[in-house]
Amino acid sequence: MNRPAPISSRLPDFTWDTLEAAAAVAAAHPDGLINLSIGTPVDPVPPVIRQALADASDAPGYPLTAGTPALRAAIADWVARVCGAGVDGLGVLPTIGSKELVAWLPTLLGLGPGDVVVVPSVCYPTYEDGVRLAGATTVRTDSLTALGPDPRVRLVWVNSPGNPTGRVLPANHLRKVVDWARERGAVVASDECYLPLGWSAAAEPVSVLAPEVCGGSYDGLLAVHSLSKRSNLAGYRAGLVAGDPALVAELLKVRKHAGMIVPAPVQAAMIAALGDQEHADAQRERYRARREQLLAAFTGAGFTVEHSEAGLYLWMTRGEDCWATVDWLARRGILVAAGVFYGPGGAQHVRAALTESDEHIAAVAARLALP
Ligand SMILES: Cc1ncc(COP(=O)(O)O)c(C=O)c1O
Digits of tens for pLDDT over the chain (371 positions)?
A: 688 889 999 998 777 788 999 999 999 999 999 999 999 999 999 999 999 999 999 999 999 999 999 999 999 999 999 999 987 899 999 999 999 999 999 999 999 999 999 999 999 999 999 999 999 999 999 988 878 777 799 999 999 999 999 999 999 999 999 999 999 999 999 999 999 999 999 999 999 999 999 999 999 999 999 999 999 999 999 999 999 999 999 999 999 999 999 999 999 999 999 999 999 999 999 999 999 999 999 999 999 999 999 999 999 999 999 999 999 999 999 999 999 999 999 999 999 999 999 999 999 999 999 98
Distance CA 275, CA 85 (A): 17
For the Cβ of 228 lying below 6 angstroms from any atom of ligand 1, the answer is: yes
Q: How far apart are CA 155 and CA 221, in angstroms?
A: 10
Which residue's alpha carbon is nearest to atom 12 within ligand 1?
A: 99
Q: What angle do CA 90, 132, 233 make, to 5 degrees?
A: 50
Kindly give the distance from the C-alpha atom of residue 150 to the centroid of ligand 1, in angstroms, as a whole number: 29
d(CA 128, CA 100): 13
Expressed in angstroms and rounded, the spacing between residue 239 Cα and the centre of ligand 1 is 9
Phi-psi region of 80 (alpha: psi -120 to 50; beta: other; left: phi over 0): alpha
3-state secondary structure of 371: coil
Q: Is the CB of 161 under 6 A from ligand 1?
A: no
Distance between CA atoms of residues 123 and 132, nearest Å? 15
Contacts of 57 (CB under 8 A, 6+ apart): 265
**E strands, the chain, where?**
34-35, 91-95, 116-119, 137-140, 153-159, 187-191, 221-226, 239-243, 304-306, 313-317, 334-335, 337-338, 349-353
Is the CB of 223 within 6 Å of ligand 1?
no
pTM score of the predicted model: 0.97
CA of 370 to the centre of ligand 1 (A): 34
pLDDT at 150: 76
Q: Which residues contact 143 (CB under 8 A, 6 or more apart)?
A: none
Return d(Cα 224, Cα 209) in angstroms, integer: 11
Which among 336, 294, 285, 291 is positioned nearest to 309, based on CA atoms?
A: 291
Rounded to whole angstroms, what are the CA distances from 243 to 35, 75, 175? Answer: 36, 11, 15
Say what the pLDDT of residue 16 is.
Answer: 76
Does the C-beta of 122 come closer than 6 Å to ligand 1?
Answer: no
Residue 55 phi, psi (nearest 5): -65, -20
Ligand 1: residue of 104, 163, 308 to mutate (most ligand atoms within 8 A of CB) is 163
Q: Tell me, using a 6 A CB cutoff, whether residue 190 lines ligand 1.
A: no
Cα separation, 322 vs 340, in Å, equals 7
Mutation to probe ligand 1, out of 15, 38, 42, 102 (largest number of atoms < 8 A from CB): 102
Task: Tell me, using a 6 A CB cutoff, whether residue 159 lines ligand 1.
Answer: yes
φ, ψ for residue 156, nearest 5 deg: -125, 120
Looking at residue 1, what is its pLDDT? 65
* H or E segment to which residue 64 belongs: none
Does ligand 1 come within 6 angstroms of the Cβ of 241? no
* DSSP of 117-167: EEE-SS--THHHHHHHHHT-EEEE-S-HHHH-S-TTEEEEEEESS-TTT--
Q: What is the DSSP string of 222-238?
A: EEEEESTTTSS-TTT--
Q: How far is the CA of 263 from the centre of ligand 1 (A)?
A: 19
